[in-house]
Amino acid sequence: MSDATPPAPGPDRPREEGLVAGGAHGPGRLRALTAIVLDTLEDAAPARGGPLPAGGPEAVARNTLARFDPVLPEEGIGPESALGDLVRAVAEGAADPADPACVAHLHCPPLAVAVAADLAGAALNPSMDSWDQAPAAGVIEEATTAALARLIHPTALAPDALITSGGTESNLVALLLARERATPGTLRVVTGSNAHHSVHRAAWMLGLPAPVVVACRDGRIDPAALDDALAALAGAPLLVVATAGTTDEGRIDPLPEIARVAERHAARLHVDAAYGGPLLFSERLAPLLAGLEHAASVTFDLHKLGWQPVAAGVLAVADAGMLAPLSLRADYLNADDDTEAGLPDLLGRSIRTTRRPDALKMAVTFRALGRRGLGGLVEHCVRTAQEFGRAVDARPGLRRRPGDIGISTVLFRPAAADALPDEAGDAVVAAVRRTLLAEGRAVLGRALAEDGDGRRRLWLKATLLHPDAATADLLPLLDLVTAAADRAAADHAAAEAPAAEDTDAPLAERLSP
């Protein structure tokens, strides 16, 4: 049996249709189609009328599905209609981080210049796994990763950096490299209770024992607890994973102390600086990352405080030799004789094979803004968070989590929640967030974090990553929260009240919702 019977000869589509984005004619086609995209985006933002659509998950699903059912029809409807319908659906149903009230996550509004650069990458579609798919894109990636490596490890002799799909992949590769240095089955990973879940997930994927979790004080690893944990594991090859910019609170672990403790126990240090890393762009803020130079590897990410469209992850290593375990030979991509003849071997630069040229948008952004420009945007976010924190402090109806603001993350809760027992108060905080989401008025995050009395409580989280938004743009959020909290507390009181009053009602009635 032939495994590829040719289809019966048939008339080809007429060539003049022209389908592809590249070549000499692609840009003309793209001009017409991107115009539809941009017009639709321009219409949809005001139509949405807020940072996200109102109505909650069910309404969003209904409205979205109405625009493209079925997703895979037998006959197509043409590129113009398909683009118009689906771009409208995704835009009207977006949680748009360009809206100052969209502050839940490390989810940045991307810079227009980075998005435009990304379009060039998509149109040319270089794949970063071999020179003959990405001649110039490979050079751009090499120069970009070299610059990042020098930024992150300025005093190392041979630093290097890889492009990744994000902090999760960076942490995974960091643990993989550490695993490969050790005798199989011996590596132990030690991290803080403040670490990102991807550290635990990476250990699981790699077949390593679950990381040993060290206690935190005020959201940061306690070096004494780390010392004890490492002592208890003496003899095993050890990797300490610290965080520079925790997801919940934006806190930076005490890196110099952690580096000293790690060195004392001959442990290698990885720092997850997915959030905090770009502080390095700012001369004024870079000192907050003192100690980072002791890390053998660093997770860095430009789709958070670097304002790139996803994905723009980085893993930096102090020594290029650390990357040797990733080297790989595949005859079709990097045959020995090709490599000897001078064709660069790109395959050992990732755990992925086909890869988009994410370095292009980073390089364009670096050139457009310069280090100083990027540093200025980071400073803007840090300053805005400080000002927003002071605004919270000035509101009688709100309370900020005691202590420092971490990078650009402000935790606060309504006083109405404080007036209730812990569980009920936390429920009010969660309800405020969900109410504002359902009303389409604000996208706030949530975090469990230590309060002044040492108890963990639920907080609303504002992760301020907007490089343009001023503090004044953010203040309406505070009004929204206090109003929603008053309603949630009233709802809570109403829900409690009948339970006390109706104790004589028949059982069935009391159990009904």
Residue with smaller CB distance to a second copy, 212 or 286: 286
H-run or E-run covering 14:
none
* Closest separation in Å from C-beta 151 to a second copy: 7
Q: Does 506 bind a second copy (CB under 8 A)?
A: no
Residue with smaller CB distance to a second copy, 159 or 445: 445
The residues, ordered by sequence, that sit 6+ positions from 495 with a Cβ below 8 Å of its Cβ are: none
The residues, ordered by sequence, that sit 6+ positions from 437 with a Cβ below 8 Å of its Cβ are: 52, 56, 443
Q: Does 278 bind a second copy (CB under 8 A)?
A: no
The dihedrals phi and psi of 163, each to the nearest 5 degrees, come to: -90, 135
Q: Does 116 bind a second copy (CB under 8 A)?
A: yes
b/e 234-244 (16+ beta carbons within 10 angstroms → b): eebbbbbbbbb
From the list 302, 235, 244, 249, the residue with the least C-alpha distance to 269 is 244
- Compose the 231-250 pattern: x for residues touching a second copy by CB under 8 A, - for all others: ----------------xx-x
Q: Does 105 bind a second copy (CB under 8 A)?
A: yes
Q: Does 60 bind a second copy (CB under 8 A)?
A: yes
- Compose the 472-501 pattern: x for residues touching a second copy by CB under 8 A, - for all others: ------------------------------
Which positions from 419 through 478 interact with a second copy, judged by CB under 8 A?
A: 427, 430, 434, 437, 443, 445-448, 461, 466-468, 470
Cα–Cα distance, 478 to 97 (Å, whole number):
18
Q: Does 382 bind a second copy (CB under 8 A)?
A: yes
| Interface stretch with a second copy, choices 168-176, 412-420, 488-496, 503-511 (CB under 8 A) | 168-176
Q: Does 339 bind a second copy (CB under 8 A)?
A: no
- Compose the 117-156 pattern: x for residues touching a second copy by CB under 8 A, - for all others: xxxxxxxxxxx--xxxxxxxx-xx--xx-xxx--x-----
* Closest separation in Å from C-beta 475 to a second copy: 15
Among 237, 320, 386, 422, binds a second copy (CB under 8 A): 386
Residue with smaller CB distance to a second copy, 265 or 475: 475
Q: Does 194 bind a second copy (CB under 8 A)?
A: no
Cα–Cα distance, 467 to 406 (Å, whole number):
17
CA 243 vs CA 30, 199, 273, 292: distances in Å: 42, 10, 6, 10
Cα–Cα distance, 409 to 463 (Å, whole number):
4
* Closest separation in Å from C-beta 504 to a second copy: 30
CB atoms within 10 A of CB 321: 9
N- to C-terminal Cα distance for the chain? 64
Residue with smaller CB distance to a second copy, 201 or 260: 201
Residue with smaller CB distance to a second copy, 196 or 349: 196
Residue with smaller CB distance to a second copy, 156 or 427: 427
Contact call for residues 171 and 196 (beta carbons, < 8 A): yes
Residue with smaller CB distance to a second copy, 359 or 502: 359
Residue with smaller CB distance to a second copy, 38 or 419: 38
Which positions from 349 through 368 interact with a second copy, judged by CB under 8 A?
A: 351-357, 360, 363-368
DSSP labels for 340-397? HTT----GGG-S-SS---HHHHHHHHHHHHHHHHHHHHHHHHHHHHHHHHHHHHT-TT
